[in-house]
Structure 1
Amino acid sequence: MRNALLSILIFIFTMFCVYILNSSILALCDDIKLETENIELEITAGEYEEAYDKSLQLLNLIGEKNLLTSIYLSHQEFDNLLNEAVKLSTYLVHGDEIEAHASLHLLKHNTEHLKKLQIPSLENIL
């Protein structure tokens, strides 16, 4: 009886942790998407200095969530986000609008891909 109760408690604890981590990653993806849209508006307005400041905030946002997301996500997926954020800030320093837009769209695509992976479906399970 003790073993069955212990197994049930461990299962409930595991499901709770997965729910918390999944919610955290979805919130991070939403924050990244919102920041990239703000940066895109700044770039189209020609305000590269403000766009650069926002890209550094985006980089800090991704860096702050590094510990929690790297435990739950594949390192490759998380490293792609981090690398594109670094590229974005570099492109904005040099005023390269075309590459900055490309990097922004890659960030958006990667966050949408991460959100799609976090939704429980038969495709993700298999």
Structure 2
Amino acid sequence: AGEMEFARNGGGCGRWIPHQAFRNSGAISVQAASLEEGQKLLTIARTCLAPRTQPTHYGTPMYVVALGCDLKFAKNICYADSFVNARTTALTPIGLGCHVCERQNCQHRGSPPRGHKLHFDISRRHSGLFTSG
């Protein structure tokens, strides 16, 4: 357990690698990310199939297992070699969840930050579904 507390209710950030791991079923996905508070983390994620306990017409459940640590430990993790050997590491900006994230203009935002009013302006185009202020 670490200092990073990700959303337990309401969904996590859509930019965080565990959500994207479903695209690469069975492959190990690695992401260097930054939180709003400035924390930098390394996350390793992979899908896994659960044992089938129901009839076959329900399909086989697929889950994601994710492990994470502070980015400063990347040099000790073999899956992070591409980040360690790079001159600069592109960090993916992520949040704890849309309702607590203050990042504006996020294309992945599914709901406004809690306590913000929505602004709709049909004469302007912006990157997300809506803007808030």
- Shorter-chain TM-score bucket reads under 0.3
Structure having the higher strand fraction is: 2
The TM-score normalised by the length of structure 2 is: 0.21
Q: What TM-score comes out, normalization by structure 1 length? A: 0.22
Question: Normalized per residue, which structure has more helix?
Answer: 1
Where relative contact order (Cα < 8 A, 6+ residues apart) is larger, the structure is 1
